Amino acid sequence: MNCRHISRLLSAYIDGELTGVEMLEIRRHLDACRSCNLQYESLRYTKQLLSHLAYAEPRPGLDKRICARLESIEIPAYQKLWGRVFSYVRQRMTPVAAGCAALGAMLVVLVSTATHESDVIAVSDRAVYTTALQLPTQPRAPFGIVPVETRSPQPLVPDTIPVETLETRNSSIFSFASFETP
Using CB under 8 A as the binding criterion, the count of chain residues that bind other proteins stands at 40
Which amino acid is present at 32? Answer: A
Give the interface segment with other proteins, choosing from 55-63, 103-111, 137-145, 163-171 (CB under 8 A).
55-63
Segment near other proteins (CB under 8 A); pick from 54-62, 112-120, 122-130, 135-143: 54-62
Q: In 3D, which of 138, 122, 102 has the Cα closest to residue 180?
A: 122
Selected from 66, 96, 156, 163, the binder of other proteins by CB under 8 A is 66
Based on CB atoms, which residue is closest to other proteins, 69 or 92?
Answer: 69
Task: With CA atoms as reference, report the closest residue to 36 among 46, 24, 45, 28.
Answer: 28
CB of 102 to other proteins, least distance (A): 16
**Window contacting other proteins (CB under 8 A); options: 38-46, 106-114, 137-145, 162-170:** 38-46
Q: What are phi and psi of 145, to 5 degrees?
A: -85, 110
- The footprint of other proteins (CB under 8 A) covers 8, 10-12, 15, 17, 41-43, 45-51, 53-59, 62-63, 65-67, 69-70, 73, 75, 79-80, 82-84, 86-87, 90
